[in-house]
Structure 1
Amino acid sequence: MFLAWNEIKHAKLRFTLIIGVMTLISYLVFFLVGLAYGLAMDNRTSVDKWDASGIVLTDESNANINMSMMPRSLADDVDADEVAILGQAPNVVRKEGETGEDAKINVTFFGIEKDQFLMPDLIDGEEFTEDYEVIADISLQEEFGIELGDVLKMAGSELEVEVVGFTEDAKFNVAPVLYTTVNTYQDVRFGQIDESEEGRISAIIARDESFSDIELDNEDLRSYSIKEYIEEIPGYMAQVLTFGLMIGFLIVIAAIVIGIFMYVLTVQKSSLFGVMKAQGISTAYIAKSVVAQTFILAAVGVGIGLILTVGTAFVLPATVPYSTNIIFLAVITGMLILFAVLGAFFSVRAIAKIDPLEAIG
C-alpha cells in the first residue's frame, strides 16, 4: 500500500486520468440504475400498494387487466381471507380551463369500494365520499400543478372529476392513478353506471396467508400471484431486461478499461520493476502494490461517481422517472470495485514474467 500510494502522489496527472475514466463510467452506471429502477417502479407502485397475495382476471384476458372484464358478482367465486373488486381504465384528462397538448395528462382510473383494503392512505386532502371525486397520485401535483379542489375533464366526453385527496407511490404502467368509486369507473369506461351485481369490473384482488390458499369456484377466472402479474405488465420485463443488460455490460467494460490501463502502466514500468526485483523485492510485494493501487483508483473513481449521482438526483425535475435504491447502489459499487481489482490481475501476470536482467538491460 505504501508503494502504491506514493506512486499515485508522484504521477498525479496520469492517475487522475484513470480516476476520471472510472468516475465517468461509474456515474453512467449509477444513473442508469436509478433510471431503470425509477421506470420499473412507475410501472408497479400502485400494485405493490395493494399489499395483496394475488389478482384474479378473466381466463381470456391473458393476464392483461385492460382486456379483463367481469360482473362484480364473481367476487363471490373467490375464496380468500380478504377480497376487493377493482375497475381499471386508462384515460386522458386535463385541468378545467386549460387547453393545448401540454394540458393533457395520461392517467389510470382505479374504481374501488371505499370500505375495502384497496383504499389508499392519504398524504393530503380527504377520502372520496361520492361519485366523480378522486384521490390522485401526488405526481399530478408535482409534475402538472394539480391542486385539491381542481376539476379534471375527461378526453372525448363531458365527464368531470374533482380531486379531493392525494396519495403517494400510486402509478400504474407509468401513468399516475386516480382512485375513485366503481360507479365513476364504469361511467369513464363504458359511458354508463350499473350498480347491480352484473355491473362490470376489471379484476378481483385477494389477500390470504399465501397465494396458494386462494381458491376459485369459476372456470372462467384465473388467478396470478402479484409477482407473476407484475412481470406480465406490458413493457415491464422488456425495460428491466434491457437496462439490466446495459448495466451489466457497462460494469464489465469498466473492469476491462481499468485493467487495460493498469496493464499498460505495468508494461511501461517493466524496467523499474526489474530493478526492484534485482534489489531483492519479491514479485508478490510488487503484485500486491499494483492490486492495492487499482483498488485505490477504483474506490476513489467510483466514490466520486456515486457522489455525483446523489447530487444529480436532488436537481432532477419530477418528470424524470429516477429513483434511488440504496441496496442497488451498494451492490453496484462493490461490483465495480471488485471487477476493477480482478482486471488488475492481468498486470500481476505481466509482473511475474519480468526478468530483472532483461528489464535492466
Structure 2
Amino acid sequence: MNLAWKEMKKNKVRFLILGSIVFLVSFLTFIISGLANGLSQDNAALIKDLSDGQFYMSEDAEETYNLSRIDVDTQEELLEKEEQATALSIQLGFLNDGDNKQQSVAFVTSAGSENFPQVGNGEVILDRSLEEKGIKVGDTLTNNQFSGEFIVKGFVDQEKFSHAPVAFIHTENYQEMYRVEEMQLVFIPNGETTESVSGLQAFTKDEFLHTIPSFNAEQLSLNMIVWFLVVISGMLFGIFFYMMNVQKIGLYGILKAIGYKTSSLFKMMWTQMIFITLLALGISIALSQVFNQIAPDGMPFSLPVGTTLQLSIVFLVIGFIGSTLSGIQIKKVNPLQAIQQGEM
C-alpha cells in the first residue's frame, strides 16, 4: 500500500493524465446515458410508466402497433375475463388551438381502464407540456378530422409518446376521426403469463417498447455509444498500466529479489487503479448530477442515481480487468534477468 502511494507521488503527472482521461470518458458516458434515459422517457413515458403486464396486438400487424386491429368480440372477451384489462389505441395527429396554431399530439383513447384518464365525449386531457405553450383548462381545440370541438378538461404530468405530448380523448371521438371501430391494443396489468389468444400476439412491456420504431433505433444507438465508451476506458487502463509495467520491469525484479510476492505487486497496481478511478468517478458523478439539476427544461435529460451507480460499478470492474490483464507480465518477471536489464 505504502509503495503504491510513494510511486503515485513520484509520478504525479502520469497518474494525473490517466485520471483526467478516466474523468472525461466517464463524464461523457454519464451525459450520454442521461440523454438516453431522457429521450426514452420523452419517447414512451405513456408506456414506461405503466405497471408490468402483457400487451396484445393482432398477429397480422407484424409487430407494428398502429397497423393492429383487434376484433371487437375478442376485445370484449378479454375485458370480461380480466377485470383490470384495458383496450387502447394510439395515433399521432394534431390539434388547433385558439390562434389556429397546430400542436402535434399523440391521441390516446382507452376503454374500461383505470390506467389512463377517462374523458367525456368532446373533452380532452393533455400532457402538461402543452400548458407551457399557452393552452389552458376550458380552451376550445379543434381537429380537421373531427366534426366537433374539444374542451380542455385538465393536464397530466409526463405523458409522452413518440416525442409528442399525449391527448386523451373519448373513444367515440377517436373512432370518428380515424374511421375505425376496433382498438389497436389490449393491456393486462400485472400479467405474468403469456396466455395464448387466437389471432393475437403477446408482448411484455419491454418487448412492446422495442416494437416502437423510433424508441428501438434511438436507444440502440445511444446505448451502443455508452458501452463503446466503457470499453474504451478499459483499454485505456490496460494500455496505461502495460506501459508503466514495461518501464518498471527492473523495479519489479528488485522487489521480487528482496522478498515481495507477485500478489503484493498486483495489490499495488490495483490500489493505484481504484484510487484513480474513484477520484475521477467522484468528480464526474458530482458534475453530472449538477447538470441533471440545471439542464434546460426543453432538454430530455434524466440521470437517476441508480443508473449512475450502476455505470460506476461497471467502470470499476472494467478498470480492474484492464489493469489485471496488463499486469500478467509481472508474474513472468525473473528477478535476475530483470536486474540485469537495468533499472526501473
What TM-score, normalized by structure 2, do the two folds share?
0.83
Q: In 2, distance between residues paired with 1:278 and 1:224?
A: 64
Deviations 1:259-318 (A, max 9, x none): 212222233344444454455444433332122101111121122222221111112223
Residue 229 to residue 349, structure 1, CA distance change in 2 (3 Å): closer
Q: In 1, distance between residues paired with 2:260 and 2:51?
A: 62
Identity of aligned residues (%): 25
Equivalent residue runs for 1:62-101 within 5 Å: 62-69=62-69, 72=72, 74-78=74-78, 79-97=81-99, 99=101
Partner of 1:340: 319
| Unaligned runs of at least 5 residues, structure 2 | none
Residue 151 to residue 279, structure 1, CA distance change in 2 (3 Å): farther
* More displaced stretch, 274-283 vs 243-252: 274-283
SS in 2 for 1:360: coil
Contact 2:126 2:152 in 1 (8 A): yes
| Unaligned runs of at least 5 residues, structure 1 | 121-126, 191-197
Q: What is the deviation of 1:109?
A: 0.8
Q: In 1, distance between residues paired with 2:7 and 2:100?
A: 64
Equivalent residue runs for 1:222-241 within 5 Å: 222-241=201-220
Of 114, 123, 127, 1:117 maps to 114
Residue 337 to residue 221, structure 1, CA distance change in 2 (3 Å): closer
Deviations 1:82-104 (A, max 9, x none): 333323221123543265xxxx5
Of 220, 236, 243, 1:257 maps to 236
Contact 1:274 1:359 in 2 (8 A): no
Partner of 1:148: 137
Equivalent residue runs for 1:173-212 within 5 Å: 173-190=162-179, 199-207=181-189, 210-212=192-194
Partner of 1:357: 340
Q: In 2, distance between residues paired with 1:210 and 1:351?
A: 52
Q: In 2, distance between residues paired with 1:153 and 1:258?
A: 59
What TM-score, normalized by structure 1, do the two folds share?
0.80
Deviations 1:67-116 (A, max 9, x none): 123565553232323333323221123543265xxxx5432111134x63
Contact 2:56 2:201 in 1 (8 A): yes
Residue 300 to residue 95, structure 1, CA distance change in 2 (3 Å): farther
**Paired amino acid for 1:139:** S
Contact 1:91 1:155 in 2 (8 A): no
Q: In 1, distance between residues paired with 2:283 and 2:144?
A: 47
Residue 259 to residue 225, structure 1, CA distance change in 2 (3 Å): closer
Contact 1:50 1:117 in 2 (8 A): no
Partner of 1:243: 222
**Does residue 42 of the first structure (1) align with residue 42 of the second (2)?**
yes
